Structure 1
Amino acid sequence: MDAVIFAVSFTLICAALFLLVRLFDQRIPVSMALLGALLLGLDDLVTGLASTVPALAVFGGGWNWSGKVYSLVLSVLVILALKLDRHAVGLTFKQRTPWLSVAAVLGFIVWGSVLGWVFQPGSADAETLAFQVTMPGLAEELVYRGVVPTVLLGAVWGRALPERGYWPVIIGTAIAFGLWHSLGYSKGTWNIDPMSGLFPFIGSLAGGWLRFRTGSLLVPVLGHGLANLAFHVVGGLAA
């Protein structure tokens, strides 16, 4: 029940957020703002239920592999149902700015290394490293940097993205991403950890800009995964 309450609440928060973002970008239809919020709420629900309902944790392990797989499946179903163009979502390996892409990935690695050195999360086992380098980057970047921005900008049913002016959507989805990491709900009590949301928010701003600048989700996905890996590897060495 806690997972459902959080998902519904998060949907309402994102709906209010995206309607506010619409004040800065009138290209966002009200219907798409609400749909984008609903998609983030559903993504949270399918991700969270796997860790609260044992029968849904089909992949086992110490990390929420099942929830991330369900998130990926949901994103794929949304792409198919709304007929989102793969280029609009960013599902291409082609880079508009190859040198920027390489520099950005290296920058994410440095960013993760610095955070690992500062926060020193301790030694990580092989499963932790495997999970962190793959699942968060794949699942979270696809929905937060791919599907939802595309929906917010109305690029559904095969429509192309507008050519410029993405910052309101980038900032709006970055705020949603930060809130998702910082908010918590358990047994009728809400809690918030600002630091848990701050760094995902900052990384999300960079990832969102790079997604549109490069025309691809490749850099955000690789950057997210490698930053997570560097965080745990360097954090383990520094501990």
Structure 2
Amino acid sequence: MKKTILWSTVPLAIAMFSYFDTSKAFDFETLVFQVTMPGIDEELMFRAILLGLLLKSFKDKFTIFKINLGNPSVLFVALLFGLVHGIHVSNNLKVGFEFVSFSGSFTFGYIWGWVTLMSRSILQAVVSHNLTNFIMSLLRMVN
């Protein structure tokens, strides 16, 4: 339990770098949204439903060159989570890809997937996800 709580705080620590990102105007509605919804709906979709289904489909251990990478379903769900956040479609239907958004979301998704798997609950991932989004938004607003 201590290990999963510790890993749940890693995205929060990384979120502190949002202070150096482009600033945005203060918006209380955005902060309320970020502290409630994304963690709930995304964690339910990616970690509860998708991860739960894939855990039953894949083997428990995945090894490459004698290195145990754990369950591949966590990696697969993190990849999908990163792609959902990295691929953007503009108003004129032009598709774009932002590597920074993808890599950050992939990393956070992998951590939250691992935390969900080890704790057997999405509660820590939901709280960590919501707080991470809230801190990232707030730091951009006070910048």
Same fold flag (TM > 0.5): yes
Measure, in 2, the Cα distance between the counterparts of 1:181 and 1:167.
22
- Superposition pairs for residues 211-226 of structure 1, below 5 Å? 211-226=116-131
CA contact (8 A) 1:183 1:193 kept: yes
The equivalent position to 1:195 in structure 2, one of 100, 108, 116, is: 100
CA contact (8 A) 1:138 1:221 kept: yes
CA contact (8 A) 2:34 2:133 kept: yes
Please list every run of 5 or more consecutive structure 2 residues that lacks an aligned counterpart in the other structure: 62-69
1:105 CA displacement:
3.6
Superposition CA RMSD, Å: 2.2
Q: How many positions carry a matched residue from both structures?
A: 134
Change (3 A) 1:154 1:107: closer
Measure, in 2, the Cα distance between the counterparts of 1:231 and 1:180.
18
CA contact (8 A) 1:149 1:169 kept: yes
1:173 CA displacement:
0.9
Change (3 A) 1:234 1:154: same
Alignment pair present for 1:150 and 2:52: yes
Please list every run of 5 or more consecutive structure 1 residues that lacks an aligned counterpart in the other structure: 1-96, 156-160
1:148 CA displacement:
0.5
SS at match of 1:153: helix
Alignment pair present for 1:132 and 2:34: yes
Measure, in 2, the Cα distance between the counterparts of 1:226 and 1:141.
13
Change (3 A) 1:183 1:214: same
Counterpart residue number, 1:102:
5
CA contact (8 A) 2:8 2:112 kept: no
The equivalent position to 1:169 in structure 2, one of 70, 73, 85, is: 73
- Superposition pairs for residues 6-155 of structure 1, below 5 Å? 97=1, 99-114=2-17, 116-154=18-56
TM-score by structure 2 length?
0.81
Measure, in 2, the Cα distance between the counterparts of 1:213 and 1:102.
10
Percent identity between the aligned chains? 25
Measure, in 2, the Cα distance between the counterparts of 1:145 and 1:235.
27
1:126 CA displacement:
1.1
Instruction: Please say which structure displays the higher CA radius of gyration.
Output: 1
1:149 CA displacement:
1.3
TM-score by structure 1 length?
0.51
SS at match of 1:191: strand
SS at match of 1:137: helix
Q: Quick one: higher RCO (CA 8 Å, sep 6+), 1 or 2?
A: 2
Amino acid at match of 1:137: G
1:35-56 per-position Cα deviation (integer Å, ceiling 9, x unaligned): xxxxxxxxxxxxxxxxxxxxxx
CA contact (8 A) 1:104 1:219 kept: no
Amino acid at match of 1:184: H
